[in-house]
Amino acid sequence: MRLLLTASGLRNETLRDALRDLLAKPFESANVVYVPTASVAEPGDHTWSVADLSRLHGLGWREFDILELNGLPRRMVLDRLLHADVVYVGGGSHYHLARSITGNGLAGGFLEALESRVYVGASAGSMVFSRNLTGRSADVMGDAADLRVLGATTVEPPFGLFDWYLKPHLYSPHFPERDDAWADRIAERADFPIYFVDDDTAVRVSDDKVDVVSEGRWRFHP
């Protein structure tokens, strides 16, 4: 399994090079499918989502698909994932994204597709692999209100691949509260490992190897 779990997409050359290495062929010879599902649960200005999509599109793919996970037949969704070389899942509400995957019965097929494809996550798209994505972790992270606004009090982790949790946007000007003191408070409450990553950083998973690629700053709390 090849995953590149970013905070804000492919913002720098180091992250783009990491994707090239995982893909092992030129972008112009590959198909990508972009999944915007997490973004639709976020209110307000979506310039950030448009910028992410445009940045990805600008890499010059052979084919660029856009796939919403809700409202389509399950087989259609899985067939379009299988048609892609790269599955790119964008940011927004990780709770809405997780509930869309589990609620539509996509988890098993999604993981099967990823056995032979590269996955890139941005923010929410990077957060759904932890088995610690639960109602309890929402309390630990201080974002239980984001779950309640969806009419839920708990969430089922759709994949449950890793013990560690990824928390994005450390030091981001768009999230000014996410500083070292914020990370320390969360780490003190958590009983599971956490990667705190800034917007120029990704956690890379290649088979059984996990490492960090970055032009920015990050922290790991075991």
Number of other residues whose CB lies within 10 A of the CB of residue 211: 11
Write the CB contacts of 182 (distance below 8 Å, at least 6 apart in sequence): none
Mean pLDDT of the chain, nearest integer:
97
Per-residue confidence (pLDDT) for residue 83, from 0 to 100: 98
pLDDT one-digit tens code per residue, 6-56? 999 999 999 999 999 999 999 999 999 999 999 999 999 999 999 999 999
pLDDT one-digit tens code per residue, 30-39? 999 999 999 9
Confidence band (pLDDT; 50, 70, 90) for 215?
very high
Alpha-helix runs per DSSP H in the chain: 13-23, 47-57, 74-83, 94-103, 107-114, 124-127, 135-141, 144-148, 180-189
Angle separating helix axes 107-114 and 94-103, nearest 10 degrees: 100
Hey, what CATH topology would domain 2-221 get? Rossmann fold (3.40.50)
Q: Where are the domains of the chain?
A: 2-221
Q: Phi then psi for 122, rounded to 5 degrees?
A: -125, 120
Confidence band (pLDDT; 50, 70, 90) for 142?
very high
Per-residue confidence (pLDDT) for residue 108, from 0 to 100: 97
Token duo for residue 175:
């999230």
- Using CA atoms, how far apart are residues 126 and 70, in angstroms rounded to an integer? 19
pLDDT one-digit tens code per residue, 64-117? 999 999 999 999 999 999 999 999 999 999 999 999 999 999 999 999 999 999
Per-residue confidence (pLDDT) for residue 71, from 0 to 100: 96
Per-residue confidence (pLDDT) for residue 6, from 0 to 100: 98
Confidence band (pLDDT; 50, 70, 90) for 183?
very high
